[in-house]
Amino acid sequence: MRRGLPVSPGVAVGTAYCIDEIFVSPGTQRLRNQEIPAELAKYEAARDHAARDLISLEKKLAEQVGPDETAIFEAHRSILRDAAFNTTIPNWIVDERLAAQAALQKLLEQYTDVFARVEDEYLKDRLNDIRDVVLRINSHLSDPKDMNEDGVTGPLIVVADQLLPSQVVMLGDMEVNGIVTQAGSQTSHAAILARSRGIPAVSGVQDILRQINTGDTVVVDGKEGRVIIAPDAETRAAYLKLEREFFDFKDHLAENRDQPAITSDGVSLNLLANINSVTDAEAATAMGATGVGLFRTEYLYLTHPVVPGEEEQLREYVSIIEASPNHSVTIRTLDIGGDKTVPFMGHVHREANPFMGWRSIRLSFEHPGVFNSQLRAVMRAAAVAQEMGGDVRLMFPMITTLEEIRRVRGLVRKARKQLIEEGKTYADVRIGMMLEVPAAAISIGSMLSLVDFVSIGSNDLVQYLMAADRDNPKVSHLCQPLAPPVLRVLTDVIRTCTAAGKPLTLCGEMAGQPTAFTLLLGMGLRSFSMSPAFIPFIKEFARHITTKAAEQLLEHALTLTATGRIRRYMTDQLAHVVPDFDRFEIS
């Protein structure tokens, strides 16, 4: 048995499907002599197709955002002309009878070993470019949507080093019942994906890829953080029973979808959903959400080789609005950067500290044409929402200063003026800020007059407050929403916004965690946005809690000086109040 971080509750028993970082899964079968010419031709065709892709993308990007941002594709074309891709891989196909994908995998592993010994950060970043080229060639060797080329059947347990946002999109409609990753934390993208789909998951399991092979039977216990490989018959039967009980509990909770979200003392709550796609929006409706508190638009960009145009964005936003509960959606503008990079937006992945660098609203300001296109598409979609009786709000990520809000409002006015002059139908939207940066939290009082609403992005706020990368397993233990400094900052922000009468929502993952939810309730928060799968849990949980009790628990929690003491205190107290409290806990 291996242990890791419990990041999404529940139990799953299934067949392991191991994927590497770029989804090349070549297997070990050697080519027969008569297969070599066809495989060589297949590789050369894929390589040539990749080269044409890069030329086309470079041209399109130059037209959309200017020639200065096309250097990335020029660099990739240079890599593609290297002897490694034109001599070494063909030689391996012929001499070692390797399939093209196996040869690509071998090349990437060799480069990874070499760059692991390099200390220069700039040179280390060249591995990212090589990986991108390998991925592009591989995309023409197989259908990227058909990841399960090993023929593994039954419920799958995806095992990976980590799942980046672009890779999450590639999972598509696979029958994934569990997720295990070597890296990550409770707020990593693998964890967010798992919770949004109600999939049990464990992260931070070191070297698990060395111990699990595709096809192995695996148990994932997302509540206790356990991963069991090849369980014996008795253990497997016990966990299958727990798996059935978990699904039965979820099915029971799903029956409350049409019931109002209220506390035990009758206080109404607003339970919203965080979504990435139409599928998520449909899940939010099915789970009883009252609307979408966060639509992450960057996932539309992550699936495109170039900037999606205004009309394409409009269609996507309208489809999201149509599928969302009450046709009510808060749309966040592009939040690219950090661990979410796209080559057509520049060299964001080459920064020494990308999470605190050129990302989010800062990146949008540097690409006014791209930003303007998104603002126009949102305002046009808002008009469609009004016709449906719905509502669209516009939210901007990583706002740090008052000047940024003023600049945003000016750009919104400019986009509105353009639409009026062009005679295009639009609707005004309420403008909000994502509160993620400690500087903004400290000065929130001076910003409220310039925004219509505030959304707390607790995932980033916590990691910035604690100076700890939430996806780094060596420091992710510091990224705790129950940490005393986090609770104090959130208390101040919520009370400031409440006193000013400014609508406020928390849309980080802590909204779906019962202990954190209780403390937020005690702070005065009444609007929560979370992964759709958690809405029935929190709705049921809230029925056992009074606001007065939450306020008293918060008052005592704020006197405690250690995260562990706060967690133990809250767990002990809630266990006396909420029946079967352990079923609601994430960890």
Identify each DSSP E strand in 258-375 by its residue range: 270-275, 292-296, 328-332
Q: What order do you get walking across the sheet with 217-221 strand by strand? A: 2-3, 226-229, 217-221, 11-18, 156-160, 176-181, 201-203, 5-8
3-state secondary structure of 227: strand
Region of residue 388 (phi > 0: left; psi between -120 and 50: alpha; otherwise: beta): alpha
- String of b and e for 207-234 (b: at least 16 CB within 10 Å)? ebbeebebebbbbbbbbebbbbbebeee
> How far apart are the C-alpha atoms of 161 and 206, rounded to whole Å?
9
Nearest alpha carbon to residue 201 among 257, 166, 231, 163 = 163
400, two tokens: 């740090």
Torsion, CA 129, CA 134, CA 139, CA 142, rounded to 10: -170
Tell me how many helices (H) and strands (E) the chain has: 25, 16
Q: Are 484 and 509 in contact (CB under 8 A)?
A: no
251, two tokens: 């099915």
Residue 290 to residues 178, 196, 273, 325, 328, Cα–Cα distance (Å): 28, 16, 8, 6, 8
> How far apart are the C-alpha atoms of 537 and 532, rounded to whole Å?
10
User: β-strands 292-296, 328-332: how paired?
Assistant: parallel
- Which residues are catalytic, by number? 189, 507
Residue 272 to residues 496, 503, 538, Cα–Cα distance (Å): 22, 14, 11
Q: Are 191 and 534 in contact (CB under 8 A)?
A: no
